[in-house]
Amino acid sequence: MQTIIFDDASRSNFFPLTLNRSIGDLRCGITKLRQRLEHIFSDTDTTCVIIDDSLVPLYKEHHPTWIINSLVNGEKLYLNSRIIVTVEAIAQIKDLPMGYCLYSGNDLVAIKVNDSSAWPDLLKLKKKLGNIRLYDSLADLIQDNSRSLVRDYHLHFYDGDNYFETEPGVTVLHPYNIWVAEGAEFSPGVVLDASEGPIIIDTSVRIMANAVICGPVYIGKKSVIKIGAKIYGGTSIGPVCKVGGELEGTIFQAYSNKQHDGFLGHSYIGEWVNLGADTNNSDLKNTYKNVAFYSYPHKTKIDSSTQFLGCMIGDHSKTGIGCSINTGTVIGIGCNLYGPNLIRDFVPDFSWGQADELDKHRFSAFCETAAIVKQRRKLIFTDTERELYHQIYNMRL
């Protein structure tokens, strides 16, 4: 049976991170949402996705072997990319009979069919109700990250080949809760404390002297943890990132840098983001009330249902030295922010300047910087990417 991961109409709930990617390619825990579903349900090696038409050219360029918005013959299981994976959710989906669609409230969760269409006619299928929960926003991913880290560790790494060896000068607590890939490097003074959750160090990670890591934490391939970094539980750092200072409960997609001192808590950071020295964010209000954050589809702030929420930053955004970011702040794609004024509420995509004096970033200047940044990682800012970002630029709020 072929598994097909689909995005539904809630994609805009996850802006700005999904302006240029599928919901299924958001990271939560160790893996991306799509990868987790494929691992559990798919018995084939072929990735099949249904995504927004605006993303198709970029995905075909980056993933030429994927089946994207196309026909798949034979039995098919369609899965909503927003599914929160639990034992109960897996059981309900696996028990779904052929010819049925599974709903949770008004949300379509899964479809099991045997036909030749790219998308089945739901009116011809029988309906079954379940109680599966779905992610509704980036705030949900941040809050579920610790649970997902623990679950992913036991699913993917606990019984895998482990290259972990205690090195001189490295302090380890609960070593059986630590997994280290081949090529990882540890400098003297590193502390790995897995007493409250697993620590997963992926391939070719470098952890510099006196860094302290408290699980549950995942550090992705070829990432660097800087000298004296303090990384607390609930943190996922994707591949090729450089991270220093103090982190807690934060997700980095990939290719982003926070190299210097400063606190970043309960936040979601896209790709190609750079946070200047001593950039700090707040993740708790002085009133201890729930944090609200700006929602693109609602065009206003909504309740996150949590006391702890930092910032959400879209791809290719930058902050200068000494920037301060308020609780629940949403910073769009392609922003360049600096100055002493508090960054707060919502910064529209492609903004340039100080928090209270924002101008629209020149698109040509954005592309020039994006090309230089990617070239430093031996990657190319392609014409397809430029076209997608130009579409986003033109729809700037």
Using a 10 angstrom Cβ sphere, with 0-12 exposed, 13-18 middle and 19 or more buried, the burial of residue 210 is: middle
**CATH number for position 219:** 2.160.10.10
Shared domain check, 192 and 112: no
Shared domain check, 361 and 230: yes
**Structurally, how many domains does the chain consist of?**
2
Shared domain check, 240 and 115: no
Shared domain check, 218 and 88: no
Count Cβ atoms below 10 Å from residue 10 Cβ, excluding itself.
18
* Helix pair angle (383-394, 363-375), 10° resolution: 140
Shared domain check, 347 and 271: yes
Q: Which residues of 247-266 are buried (b: 16+ CB within 10 A; e: fewer)?
A: bbbbbbbbbbbbbbbbbbbb
Shared domain check, 323 and 215: yes
Residues 206-250: tens digit of each pLDDT: 999 999 999 999 999 999 999 999 999 999 999 999 999 999 999
Record the tokens describing residue 112, joined without a space: 């099991």
Shared domain check, 183 and 120: no
Omega before 168 cis (within 30°)? no
The pLDDT of residue 383: 96
Shared domain check, 221 and 95: no
Q: Give the residue from 91, 109, 136 where a domain finishes.
A: 136
Pairing of strands 351-354, 357-360: antiparallel
Using a 10 angstrom Cβ sphere, with 0-12 exposed, 13-18 middle and 19 or more buried, the burial of residue 143 is: buried
The pLDDT of residue 111: 95
Cα–Cα dist 345/165, whole Å:
45
Domain that holds residue 201: 141-394
The pLDDT of residue 160: 63
Q: Give the residue from 136, 153, 169 where a domain finishes.
A: 136
The pLDDT of residue 166: 65
Shared domain check, 256 and 109: no
At 143, which helix (H) or strand (E)? helix 138-152
Q: Give the residue from 136, 154, 177 where a domain finishes.
A: 136
Shared domain check, 106 and 166: no
Cα–Cα dist 303/263, whole Å:
23
Low-confidence ranges of the chain (pLDDT < 70): 44, 158-164, 166, 396-397
What is the pTM (predicted TM-score) of this model? 0.94
**CATH number for position 106:** 3.90.550.10
Shared domain check, 234 and 118: no
Shared domain check, 152 and 114: no
